Amino acid sequence: MRWSTYFLPTLKEVPVEAQIPSHRLMLRAGMICLSSSGIYTWLPFGLRVLKNIETIVREEQERAGAQEVLMPTIQSADLWRESGRYDDYGKEMLRIRDRHEREMLYGPTNEELITDVFRRFVKTYRDLPKNLYQIQWKFRDEIRPRFGIMRGREFLMKDNYSFDIDKEGAYNSYRKMFEAYLRTFARLGVVAIPVKADSGAIGGDMSQEFHVLAETGESKVFYDVAFEELRHKDLASLDIEKLRNLYAAAEEKHDPQTCPVAPENLKEARGIEVGHIFYFGTKYSEPMKATVTGEDGQLIPVEMGSYGIGVSRLVAAIIEASHDAAGIIWPESVAPFCIGLINLKVGNPDTDKASETLYDALQKENVEVLYDDRDLRAGSKFADMDLIGLPWQIVVGGRSLSMNKIEVKCRKTGLREDLSINEVIKKFTKSTISDGKCV
């Protein structure tokens, strides 16, 4: 992509309304713009990140055996009356009427809908277990939206629902999701700690929240220091069993008296909730009559669990966990582009030629490159590139080019090296996988 033609409106000055780093940086990096309170338009650069996260979440859901569906955003109030939640949910639920004065709502979550889908088709224990997921926009009419996308009213969420014949099956589904979540967050480049938590309005007795550690997190969490190894482990070496048994708890659930972790191994931090998994048994299947015939011929309400990942919130959470004074530092797995190619002297035949050669070669190799071909001063281009946080910067300028070298800078470490054009191409094509992400 050539920056000169790309819709990427960066801001030099910090917008006043934004208080936390992710909100400021998302506005300054031209990722989102406010439409109305808690509701945002995703601009091209931000949308690329959102899509990248979505892809990883989707891949890990499929790997764990869940199947994708897409349910409507607008739902009928009748279904919610069946579960009893139409009256319970309160003002967070956006209620609307259609032209026939029928009561509708914009879904804040989808247990009722999925239970309805399930009960229509599944009648026997032989068809269990099932696990269905979707990635869909939700709306919760928060009393006070804040922190940009972090706490918006409209948000993109992956939600899935497991159906099992008995409690043991349900726990098994739960465990699979636990593992899928650890894998998902690890791939997204963040450390997410699974903490015991209240299951809130949705109900149930087995429930964990996944929190990305960041100073601006909304809740306080306590956890075993061993979780910090997550940061340094690759996927293959994740020891799920060990992680499942480590201690972590939200502030409300943490009791220093009974905590099994020695004080010197107990860490305290703030976290951003990006995922929530819980088992809730027959809370919906019973009132909504989602039953199957068991081996003995009796009707049994199915055992359910539900599992959420805040996809749009993750964009902000990742930035909270990965930025510096100059801007965003994208983990490579979610970066909107792998490389930012800066031509410092647009119009100069030598830098133009070298830049175009690199741009073409990398594109041919399927590496995602944002080529800054704008005719601006060096300082602005460096500042913009640091702000938008692409993992690698390739700088083509007179200084190094006079020695037939190109400068390559790692955004995260700040380390630079001078390479020949061919070495640059080799460096990035060798480490590239098919979808254009650097490894």
Which chain residues interact with RNA by CB under 7 A?
10-17, 19, 34, 36-38, 92, 140, 142-147, 150-153, 155, 157, 200-202, 209, 218-219, 273-276, 308-310, 312-313, 326, 344-345, 376-380, 382-384, 386-387, 395-401, 407, 409, 416
Q: How far apart are CA 409 and CA 403, in angstroms?
A: 17
Question: Judged by CB, which is closer to RNA: 152, or 169?
Answer: 152
Contacts 24+ apart (CB under 8 A), 178-181: 178/208, 178/240, 178/244, 178/277, 179/64, 179/240, 180/60, 180/61, 180/63, 180/64, 180/66, 181/60, 181/210, 181/275, 181/277, 181/307, 181/309
The first and second tokens of residue 224, run together, are: 């075993």
- Look at strands 67-68 and 130-139 and give their pairing: parallel
3-state helix, strand, coil in the chain (%, to 5): 35, 30, 35
Nearest approach, Cβ of 286 to RNA (angstroms)? 21
Nearest approach, Cβ of 314 to RNA (angstroms)? 8
Nearest approach, Cβ of 123 to RNA (angstroms)? 31
Question: Judged by CB, which is closer to RNA: 265, or 404?
Answer: 404
* DSSP H or E stretch at residue 422: helix 421-430
Nearest approach, Cβ of 311 to RNA (angstroms)? 8
Nearest approach, Cβ of 369 to RNA (angstroms)? 18
Nearest approach, Cβ of 308 to RNA (angstroms)? 5
Question: Is residue 149 within 8 Å of 27, Cβ to Cβ?
Answer: no
Omega of the bond leading into 9 within 30 degrees of 0 (cis): no
Question: Judged by CB, which is closer to RNA: 14, or 74?
Answer: 14
Question: Judged by CB, which is closer to RNA: 13, or 296?
Answer: 13
Question: Judged by CB, which is closer to RNA: 40, or 125?
Answer: 40
Helix 21-28 and helix 311-321, axial crossing angle in degrees, nearest 10:
100
The DSSP call for residue 327 is E
Q: How far apart are CA 96 and CA 102, in angstroms?
A: 8
Question: Judged by CB, which is closer to RNA: 64, or 150?
Answer: 150
Question: Judged by CB, which is closer to RNA: 125, or 273?
Answer: 273
Question: Judged by CB, which is closer to RNA: 71, or 122?
Answer: 71
Nearest approach, Cβ of 27 to RNA (angstroms)? 9
The angle subtended at Cα 29 by Cα 320 and Cα 48, nearest 5°, is 85
Nearest to 433 by CA among 8, 180, 45, 59: 59
Nearest approach, Cβ of 435 to RNA (angstroms)? 25
The first and second tokens of residue 98, run together, are: 């259609």
